[in-house]
C-alpha cells in the first residue's frame, strides 16, 4: 500500500473514533452501553473463527452497534462466494485493516546484501454474516442468552401476539419499517425490565397501524427529522401511553426524549391544533389494536 492510501485508512478510522468521542461516546464501551443482547460480549470473529484484534475490534464493534448486528462473525465478499453464499443486494461493507511487513533485500555501501523490513497496511471490506445469504447454518448459531432474563408479562405478550404484526427480534434498535411492514425489536434480555420491553413494543405497534392496509395514516413524514416525522412520533408516544394504561404497564422514557421534546415543541407552537390531532390519531391507533383482540378480551378491556 502506498503511503497516501495508508494515510487515508488511518484518517478514516481516526475520524470515526474522534467523532464518537466528541459526542461523549467511548467506542470501546459501545457493546456494553448498547446492552448485552444475545449473551456474553465477545471479539468480532473472522469466517474461520479467528478473533480480530487491535483497531479492527473497535471498527467492527462500532459497525455492529450502528447497524444492529448481533452475530460476531464477519467475512469478505470472496470468502462468502467460496461458501456458495452471496452478499445481499445493497449491503455496504465495513472497513478493516491488515498490517504486516515486507522483507526487501538491498545492498549496503560495501556491496553486501542486507534485508530490510518495510511495514505496510492495507484496508479491505468485510461483511457481517447477517448481510449474507446462503451461508451454512453454523454461521447463524446465536451465543447463549444471559442468565435470569426478565420474565415475560403474559397478558402483554398475548395482546401483541393477537395483532399478528410481524415482530422481528433483531439488533439493538426498536423501529417500524413501513415498506417491508415489520417491527424490529431488540431481545427482551437487553431491556432493564420486561415492562420497558412491552412499552417499546406498544410504541412501535402504534407506528405499525399507520400502514396503508390498516389506518392509512399519513402525516407528511418524508424523511427522518422533518415535521411529519415529529407528528408521527407524537402520535406513537401518546398511543403508547394510552395502551400502557390499558395493559397496566409503565411507559418507558426514550433515551433520546430530549430531542423529541424539542421537535414536538416546535410543531405545537406552530400549530395549536396539533396536540388534538395527535391525540385523536393515537386513540384510533389504540382502538385498532384492541379491535384485533379476541371478543372476550375486548369485552374485558
pLDDT digits (tens, 9 = 90+) for 23-42: 666 566 566 555 544 555 57
Spell out the residues 6+ positions from residue 100 whose beta carbon is closer than 8 angstroms to its own. Answer: 119, 120
**pTM for the whole structure:** 0.57
Rounded mean pLDDT, 2-16: 63
pLDDT beyond 80 at 120: no
pLDDT given for residue 206 in this prediction: 95
pLDDT given for residue 224 in this prediction: 73
Tell me, rounded to whole angstroms, the distance of Cα 249 from its chain centroid.
25
| Residues in the chain, overall count | 301
77 to 55, 81, 208, 249, 262: CA distances (angstroms) = 21, 6, 35, 46, 43
pLDDT given for residue 147 in this prediction: 41
Q: pLDDT tens for residues 132-146?
A: 999 998 888 765 554
pLDDT given for residue 252 in this prediction: 74
Q: pLDDT tens for residues 170-221?
A: 888 899 999 999 999 999 988 888 988 999 999 999 999 999 999 999 998 7
Amino acid at each position: 500500500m502506498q503511503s497516501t492510501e495508508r494515510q487515508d485508512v488511518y484518517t478514516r478510522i481516526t475520524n470515526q473514533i474522534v467523532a464518537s468521542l466528541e459526542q461523549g461516546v467511548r467506542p470501546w464501551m459501545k457493546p456494553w452501553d448498547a446492552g448485552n443482547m444475545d449473551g456474553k460480549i465477545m471479539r468480532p470473529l473472522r469466517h474461520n473463527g479467528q478473533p480480530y484484534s487491535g483497531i479492527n475490534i473497535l471498527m467492527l464493534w462500532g459497525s455492529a452497534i450502528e447497524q444492529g448486528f448481533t452475530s460476531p462473525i464477519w467475512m469478505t465478499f470472496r470468502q462468502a462466494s467460496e461458501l456458495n453464499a452471496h452478499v445481499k443486494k445493497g449491503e455496504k461493507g465495513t472497513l478493516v485493516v491488515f498490517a504486516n511487513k515486507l522483507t526487501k533485500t538491498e545492498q549496503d555501501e560495501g556491496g553486501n546484501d542486507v534485508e530490510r523490513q518495510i511495514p505496510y497496511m492495507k484496508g479491505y471490506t468485510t461483511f457481517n454474516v447477517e448481510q449474507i445469504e446462503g451461508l451454512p447454518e453454523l454461521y447463524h448459531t446465536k451465543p447463549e442468552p444471559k442468565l435470569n432474563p426478565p420474565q415475560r408479562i403474559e397478558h402483554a405478550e398475548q395482546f401483541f401476539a393477537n395483532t399478528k404484526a410481524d415482530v422481528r427480534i433483531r439488533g439493538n434498535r426498536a423501529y417500524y419499517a413501513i415498506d417491508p411492514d415489520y417491527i424490529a425489536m431488540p431481545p427482551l434480555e437487553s431491556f432493564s425490565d420486561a415492562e420497558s420491553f412491552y412499552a417499546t413494543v406498544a410504541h412501535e405497534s402504534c407506528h405499525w397501524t399507520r400502514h396503508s392496509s390498516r389506518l392509512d395514516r399519513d402525516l407528511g413524514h418524508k424523511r427522518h427529522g422533518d415535521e411529519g416525522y415529529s407528528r408521527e412520533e407524537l402520535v406513537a408516544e401518546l398511543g403508547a401511553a394510552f395502551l400502557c394504561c390499558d395493559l397496566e404497564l409503565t411507559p418507558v422514557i426514550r433515551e433520546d426524549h430530549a430531542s423529541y421534546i424539542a421537535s414536538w415543541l416546535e410543531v405545537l407552537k406552530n400549530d395549536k391544533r396539533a396536540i388534538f390531532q395527535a391525540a385523536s390519531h393515537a386513540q384510533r391507533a389504540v382502538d385498532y389494536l384492541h379491535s384485533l383482540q379476541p371478543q372476550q378480551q375486548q369485552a374485558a378491556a
